[in-house]
Amino acid sequence: MTSLRFLSMEKAIGYLGDASSAHQLLVTLNTTLLTDDPVIANAIQNRNLEVLQKIWHQLKGFAPVFCQDALVAEITRTEGLCKQITSHQEQSAALSASELLQANLQALQLEAAAQILQAAAITKPPTP
């Protein structure tokens, strides 16, 4: 198995107890990331830190199950930056962190999709 930068199936299996449950929840994660990406892009473009903070907060809830520790820390840090904005400099820092996090979540989604395809290839019998 190739080393994944953001996804940790080992953590997910350990947390959920078995590979089947982890793969089922991985499909939900993949769908959520695909659905949230345009919302995140729109919020960044419109400088809507309230929407970004809400999304980061929701992601922070499941991130420890599936994500490498560095990505969990990045989600937590970015959510914190979006919470209390009192200056233009803080807003810029929150938006920059959100842009980087969005890119990392896009990479996470690609890793999740690849993992789903790999699991399907292993469990699906060959077509005659």
The pLDDT score that the predictor gives to residue 1 is 46
Residue 121 lies in a domain: no
Residue 70 lies in a domain: yes
The pLDDT score that the predictor gives to residue 73 is 98
Banded pLDDT at 123 (limits 50, 70, 90): low
Report pLDDT digits (tens) over 47-99.
999 999 999 999 999 899 999 999 999 999 999 999 989 999 999 999 999 99
C-alpha dist (Å) from residue 22 to 9, 51, 102: 7, 28, 23
Judge residue 61's burial from the number of C-beta atoms within 10 Å of its C-beta, 0-12 exposed, 13-18 middle, 19 or more buried.
exposed
Q: Residue 44 and residue 66: Cα distance in Å, rounded?
A: 24
Residue 32 lies in a domain: yes
Contacts of 50 (CB under 8 A, 6+ apart): 82
The pLDDT score that the predictor gives to residue 71 is 98
Residue 3 lies in a domain: no
Per the listing, tokens 């991130």 go with 63
User: Which domain, by its residues, includes 80?
Assistant: 9-116
Number of structural domains the chain divides into: 1
Residue 126 lies in a domain: no
